[in-house]
Amino acid sequence: MTAGAMNEIRVGIAGCAGRMGRMLLRQTVGHGRCVVVGGSEREDSDTIGRDLGELAGIGSLGLAVGRDPGPVFEAADVVLDFTSPAATACHAGLAAATGAALVAGTTGLDGEQEKAIGDASAKTAIVRAANMSVGVNLLLALTRRVAATLGPDFDIEVLEMHHRHKVDAPSGTALALGRAAASGRGVDHDDMADRGRDGISGERRRGAIGYAALRGGNVAGEHAVIFAADDERVELVHKATDREIFARGALAAAVWLRGKPPGLYSMADVLDLRA
Ligand code: NAD
């Protein structure tokens, strides 16, 4: 084996025909150290048997979409999984059985499905994050830090804007930012959260963590955490213009996982933001 091949990271993609899956295919192929070794889809997908590269619009890769994820996990050093909660729980078991590392990005898992990931992490290394963007994870760490430094004279407001099709508010990322602020300040988030104001809502409660959600256009995702005191204001802002940022973060996690011992890791570990 050449030094280059030894350094290479063999990547499998579960849910390879999905929006994230196709992006991950394109980014893995364009990545200097990673090589695609397989992709799987749900059994009844009409993409089964199609060429992975053709699917992603990048020409033939000579690999077909599989209905059985087993061979993908066997061939891969790391599998990127952006599928469905049930599929991700099942894939965690396969990662444990084969020793492949796992980047688990699927959201909406219930307690039992999250437990399946936790159990599998006793046998293999897993990065689990509901938002894999490097910038958003940095924003979370900064929010915790700033909230810890600025006292309760600074009112905390979390503002987010998303496209007109989003059905939930505030966004999961906005709530994660509010929780990061609460943990930095050493208070209970759910006690302090103020999730909606309308009409005569009264004066601002001291120490509240307020939320506001805007909807419109095709905005991929914008978040701001505002710390407002008398006479000064600190604002932390992140603006996403494309979902590619999640795929880039997933690839960064895949590279970071190389050689890691079994365990459940987060993007804070990948980005060394724990301090
Ligand atoms: P999508 O519906 O476009 O893609 C999901 C794909 O998974 C589909 O092609 C589906 O057929 C496939 N799939 C379902 N069951 C499967 C199985 N058993 N085996 C193999 N493939 C299976 O959705 P999407 O927008 O790509 O998002 C997928 C998931 O990733 C969602 O839960 C979404 O919320 C999450 N997500 C997370 C992040 C992050 O940063 N962590 C970013 C974007 C999306």
pLDDT for the residue numbered 243: 87
Count of domains for the chain? 2
Q: Confidence band (pLDDT; 50, 70, 90) for 271?
A: very high
- Burial classification of residue 271, based on how many CB atoms lie within 10 Å of its CB (0-12 exposed, 13-18 middle, 19 or more buried): middle
CA-based torsion, 225, 144, 238, 11: positive or negative = negative
Q: What is the 84 CA–ligand 1 centroid distance (Å)? A: 5
Kindly give, in sequence order, each residue whose CB lies less than 8 Å from that of residue 97, ignoring residues fewer than 6 positions away: 73, 123
Q: Is residue 155 part of a domain?
A: yes
Q: What is the pTM of this model?
A: 0.89
Alpha helices (runs of H) in the chain, residue ranges in sequence order:
3-7, 19-29, 52-55, 70-75, 85-98, 111-120, 134-149, 172-185, 189-192, 244-257, 267-270
* 55 and 163 assigned to the same domain: no
* 85 and 180 assigned to the same domain: no
Cis peptide leading into 170, omega within 30 of 0?
A: yes
Measure the N-to-C terminal CA separation of the chain; round to a whole number of Å: 39
Please say if the pLDDT value at position 4 is more than 70. Answer: no
What CATH number has the domain bearing residue 85? 3.40.50.720
* 8 and 108 assigned to the same domain: yes
* 141 and 77 assigned to the same domain: no
Q: Is residue 64 part of a domain?
A: yes
Query: CA of 157: how far to CAs of 174, 178, 210, 212, 230, in Å?
Result: 10, 8, 5, 8, 14
* 176 and 42 assigned to the same domain: no
pLDDT for the residue numbered 3: 54
pLDDT tens-digit map of 130-179? 899 999 999 999 999 999 999 899 999 999 999 999 888 898 899 999 99
- How far is Cα of residue 41 from the mean position of the Cα atoms in its chain? 20
Q: What is the 152 CA–ligand 1 centroid distance (Å)? A: 40
pLDDT for the residue numbered 179: 96
- Ligand 1, atom 39, lies closest to the CA of 131
Please say if the pLDDT value at position 5 is more than 80. Answer: no
- How far is Cα of residue 253 from the mean position of the Cα atoms in its chain? 10
Q: Is residue 275 part of a domain?
A: no
pLDDT tens-digit map of 185-237? 999 999 999 998 999 999 999 999 999 999 999 999 999 999 999 999 999 99
* 98 and 204 assigned to the same domain: no
pLDDT for the residue numbered 172: 84
pLDDT for the residue numbered 1: 56
Q: What is the 106 CA–ligand 1 centroid distance (Å)? A: 6
* 138 and 189 assigned to the same domain: yes
Q: Comparing C-alpha atoms, which of 92, 141, 108 is closest to residue 268?
A: 141
Maximum distance among all Cα pairs of the chain, rounded to whole angstroms: 71
Q: Is 166 a catalytic residue?
A: yes
Return the best residue to mutate from 19, 73, 82 for the ligand 1 pocket (most ligand atoms within 8 A of CB).
82
Q: Confidence band (pLDDT; 50, 70, 90) for 51?
A: very high
Residue type, position 145, single letter: R
pLDDT for the residue numbered 168: 83
pLDDT tens-digit map of 86-134? 999 999 999 999 999 999 999 888 999 999 999 999 999 999 998 999 9
Dist. CA 70–CA 95, nearest whole Å: 9
* 105 and 8 assigned to the same domain: yes
* 230 and 180 assigned to the same domain: yes
Return the best residue to mutate from 45, 73, 107, 163 for the ligand 1 pocket (most ligand atoms within 8 A of CB).
107
- Ligand 1, atom 15, lies closest to the CA of 42
pLDDT for the residue numbered 275: 65
Average pLDDT of the residues of the chain: 95
* 195 and 227 assigned to the same domain: yes
* 248 and 219 assigned to the same domain: no
Instruction: Point out the catalytic residue in the list 31, 91, 115, 166.
Output: 166
* 40 and 123 assigned to the same domain: yes
Backbone conformation region of residue 218, classed left if phi is above 0, alpha if psi is from -120 to 50, else beta: alpha
Give the domain range for residue 220.
134-240
What CATH number has the domain bearing residue 162? 3.30.360.10
Q: Is residue 229 part of a domain?
A: yes
Q: Comparing C-alpha atoms, which of 120, 140, 142, 145 is closest to residue 130?
A: 140
103: three-class secondary structure by DSSP: strand
Please say if the pLDDT value at position 35 is more than 80. Answer: yes
